[in-house]
Structure 1
Amino acid sequence: MANEDKLNRHVRDTWYVEYEEMNFPAIQKGWVLPADRWKEFDPFILMAEDWFKKGTFPDHPHRGFQTITYVIDGRLEHIDNGGGRDILEPGDVQYMNAGWAARHAEDGVEDDVAHTLQLWLNLPQEQKQSETLYQNVYAEDAPVVNVDEGTIKVYAGEVAGVKGPMETIVPITLSEVNLSEGASTTLELPENHNAFVYVLSGEVEVGGDQTPLKKHGVATLDYRANGESDKGSTLALNAKKRRTRVLVYSGLPIEETIVPYGPFVMNSMDEIREAFKDFRDGKFGPPAV
């Protein structure tokens, strides 16, 4: 009976990312998750896909949320004012809890064009003043599960029987699925996690309704809002072209009203104004250089 009750994920909505050219040193940007739809994406706020060179994202502050940055191509240099400095390469991921006061820079390296996905992940109100921290997950440190004619790489949460190394404040999963043409696999995600899929290459059929999705396609999935975190749901993926590469994100909704404004995500405009004042007053610390 339990298996009969297991949620077989279906697609709620799909769209394709539209891109716009930017002013140099930025090159191109697209919104994978548009910021004005954060209520339906909860706990996710937005996700941007960017191509850029050195000088695009110099020293800047954040408060009240988390970021997950996936490097698709090129090299990304991260510098923060806590002394952190590193270079991330394709397949590497950085987790940042901005907490109460992050100040960092993200840039291309030398003449590289950095191509990244940056996801903004909300923090519960009681965690918006938490400690700032960073965690780099290098591609070779994420466990890989071999499936029929493909692989599943797990960065966060438990997927395919393994746990990813990323430690986030809000429960999430992040996995990268690579499949050959004609290959199929099924992921198990917590039934109460909101989830979405982004196709990096190839073509895939998503969910129990086998919704087709090509490169640059996004699909949001149904879930059980009143479900349990320890009960699984299934997500079917069927590759229709060779070298199909898909990112699957899921997270437990926070169900709070937020105000995303500039580099901050708080619960009210008063808190946004306070964040700007704290930054002007030097409470975020010295620049990240």
Structure 2
Amino acid sequence: MYAENIQRSVRRIDNPSIHQGINALHCARQLIAPGDWAFNDPFLLMAEDWFPKGVFDTHPHRGMETVTFVLEGHLEHVDNHGNGGVIQPGDAQWMTAGRGILHNEVPVAKETVHLLQLWVNLPAADKMVEPRYQDLIGSDMPRRQLDGVDIRVFSGVSGGVVAPTLNYAKVTVLDIRMQPGRGYEEQIPGDYNVFLHILEGEGTVGPDKQPVQAGQVVWMARPETGDPSGILMSSGSAGMRVFLAGGLPLREPVVARGPFVMNTAEQIAQAYQDFRSGAFGA
């Protein structure tokens, strides 16, 4: 028991815009831009995408994890390790690329899928682990229900409710739905780097009640202590839905190129060589 809980203030609010993606069928919003590795740590990037079948093709990854959270539509997943299935609205897929994987994510016919994809860095010691796939069904995830607030725990812990998700980096991911005019405080370790993506509605965040609205990414201040810290949220007249992610920074070098994220340029070169030589598999 600690004498006083640290209340996190808002550090920064981003207002990313929607733009055309890789072709005219693809709309995207870059919620977390790659490159500012120290600020984002242990997260690498986050994208919001709208796309039909035929936009993406089979592609490789190494050295990181992807968390794909489906908001609308149905997404078929397949990889070269025998995993496959359909991710439905409210579900997530946690894929550990590890030493190397080939995969594709394809909307079912005649549907446009709306999703979030978060890239989580793997610790240097775990960059070359065996690939792993975790299917996180929203209705099966551990759940907290408070007065007008519903929290699904996709990774980590919330209020003593623990997700079964297997992690290499310490990461908490929550889907928080607040009815109109509700207040809520999420407890999270003070040394975690935390951001909120406002999925729906509007409200306030932090002890100084910073106004937030749908589409924004809200970065919270870092107390830089392992003691518990509080993140205060209040919903407005339309309610509010929040995607919250927090993780313990790795504080390791990051070298990224395309779909590969390693610690040195030599490791990136080796990843491309392994991919081209067929070492990732068929």
TM range (shorter): over 0.9
2:236 partner letter:
K
- 2:54 equivalent to 1:58: no
Q: Report the aligned-residue RMSD.
A: 1.3
- 2:229 equivalent to 1:233: yes
Between the two proteins, the alignment pairs up a number of residues equal to 282
Instruction: Say if 2:8 and 2:223, in contact at 8 Å, map to a contact too.
Output: no
2:115 partner letter:
T
2:221 partner letter:
D
Partner of 1:39: 38
Unmatched tracts of structure 1, length 5 or more: none
Provide closer, same or farther for how the CA distance between residues 278 and 128 of structure 1 changes in structure 2, counting only shifts above 3 A.
Answer: same
1:156 partner letter:
S
Q: Which moved more, 1:16-25 or 1:266-275?
A: 16-25
Report the TM-score when normalising by structure 2. Answer: 0.96
The Cα of 1:22 is off from its aligned counterpart by 3.1
Q: How does 1:112-191 map to 2 (within 5 A)?
A: 112-191=111-190
Deviation per CA, 1:243-288, whole angstroms, max 9, x where unpaired?
41011100000001101110000112211111011000000000xx
2:265 partner letter:
M
The Cα of 1:51 is off from its aligned counterpart by 0.6
Partner of 1:222: 221
Q: How does 1:86-105 map to 2 (within 5 A)?
A: 86-105=85-104
Partner of 1:108: 107
Q: Which moved more, 1:205-214 or 1:191-200?
A: 205-214
Identity %: 35
Unmatched tracts of structure 2, length 5 or more: none
The Cα of 1:233 is off from its aligned counterpart by 1.1
Partner of 1:69: 68
The Cα of 1:25 is off from its aligned counterpart by 6.8
C-alpha distance in 2 between matches for 1:23 and 1:122: 24
Provide closer, same or farther for how the CA distance between residues 74 and 35 of structure 1 changes in structure 2, counting only shifts above 3 A.
Answer: same
1:265 aligned residue (257, 261, 264)? 261
Report the TM-score when normalising by structure 1. Answer: 0.94
Deviation per CA, 1:184-234, whole angstroms, max 9, x where unpaired?
111111111100000000002111221111000111111233x22xx3211
Provide closer, same or farther for how the CA distance between residues 111 and 185 of structure 1 changes in structure 2, counting only shifts above 3 A.
Answer: same
Partner of 2:2: 2
C-alpha distance in 2 between matches for 1:112 and 1:27: 13
Deviation per CA, 1:104-144, whole angstroms, max 9, x where unpaired?
11111111111111001111111111111010100111122
